[in-house]
Amino acid sequence: MKLYYSDVLSPRKACAVAKYLQIPVEYIFLDLSRGQQKTSHYLAINPNGHVPTLVDDDRVFWEADAITCHLATRAGSDLWPQDERQIEIIRWLSWAAQHFNRYAGELYFEYIIKARFGLGDPDPGVVTDAQQQFRRYAAVLDAHLEGRRWLVGNQLSVADFTVAITLPYAEHAHIPLDDFRHVRDWHNRLNELEAWREPFPT
Ligand SMILES: N[C@@H](CCC(=O)N[C@@H](CS)C(=O)NCC(=O)O)C(=O)O
């Protein structure tokens, strides 16, 4: 299996799951600052020109969530359980993409990507709005996590990897977590996993 990645948000998810599951993967780093995600060779496997992409024999997967589910299926892991828990996991994946990570991702872009790629200063209007919307959805997550260790069925799943994906950057991205103790406790549990703390190949 080949995993095309870079050391940024979406690939982090795929790398963390591959490492957690100890799947033998050939990691191929793409330098986004040099446009390596836009070469004709790469666009042939991922026409979006984004990372990550997983190539497993003659099957190609883009979208990090599809990649994590495929990796878990290949490993026979309950990170993507083969039962009705899938429905609840899909709910969290969808919610993260549309709401929670949408606004946390805006803060990640404003504070981390702009600085890294020389795209200028954070836009105060975007930051204020994103922080306000983030708090709204973080309250939903915080209430769900009260009394639970993990998001679905009190067992680690791909939903935890996806929903939490911006949180390692919370401090630098000014993601406001102060009011959400259960979210912080849950992320501390993820931080006990080496694959979460250090997802990228060295
Ligand atoms: N929804 C996609 C998002 C992919 C994506 O936007 N990746 C970013 C990095 S986090 C990227 O490739 N940026 C470089 C570019 O678009 O040129 C996924 O989850 O895989």
pLDDT value of residue 84 = 96
Residues 64 and 126 in one domain: no
Residue 184 has pLDDT above 90, yes or no: yes
Q: Where does a domain end: 15, 45, 75?
A: 75
Tens digit of pLDDT for each residue in 66-115?
Answer: 999 999 999 999 999 999 999 999 999 999 999 999 999 999 999 999 99
Residues 71 and 89 in one domain: no
How many domains in the chain? 2
Phi-psi region of 142 (alpha: psi -120 to 50; beta: other; left: phi over 0): alpha
Q: At how many degrees (to 10) do helices 124-145 and 101-108 cross?
A: 140
Domain that holds residue 27: 2-75
- Rounded to the nearest 10°, the torsion over CA 169, 29, 53, 91 is -10
Pocket test for ligand 1, best of 43, 51, 60 (most atoms within 8 A of CB): 51
What's the CATH number where 51 sits?
3.40.30.10
Whole-number Å distance, alpha carbon 70 to ligand 1 midpoint, is 18
- Please tell me the residue having the least CA distance from ligand 1 atom 11: 50
Q: What is the pTM of this model?
A: 0.97
Residue range 141-149: mean pLDDT, rounded? 98
Residues 92 and 140 in one domain: yes
9 lines ligand 1 (CB under 6 A): yes
Residue 133 belongs to some domain of the structure: yes
Residues 94 and 64 in one domain: no
Share of the chain above pLDDT 90, in %: 99
10 lines ligand 1 (CB under 6 A): yes
pLDDT value of residue 154 = 86
Residue range 124-149: mean pLDDT, rounded? 98
Residues 97 and 134 in one domain: yes
97 lines ligand 1 (CB under 6 A): no
Q: What is the mean pLDDT of the chain?
A: 97
Tens digit of pLDDT for each residue in 29-77?
Answer: 999 999 999 999 999 999 999 999 999 999 999 999 999 999 999 999 9
Residue range 111-122: mean pLDDT, rounded? 96
pLDDT band at 133 (very low <50, low <70, confident <90, very high): very high
Residue 90 belongs to some domain of the structure: yes
Which backbone phi and psi does 146 adopt, to 5 degrees? -60, 120
What's the CATH number where 158 sits?
1.20.1050.10
Q: What atom in ligand 1 is closest to the CA of residue 62? A: 20
- Please tell me the residue having the least CA distance from ligand 1 atom 4: 50
Residue range 144-173: mean pLDDT, rounded? 97
Q: What atom in ligand 1 is closest to the CA of residue 63? A: 20
153 lines ligand 1 (CB under 6 A): no
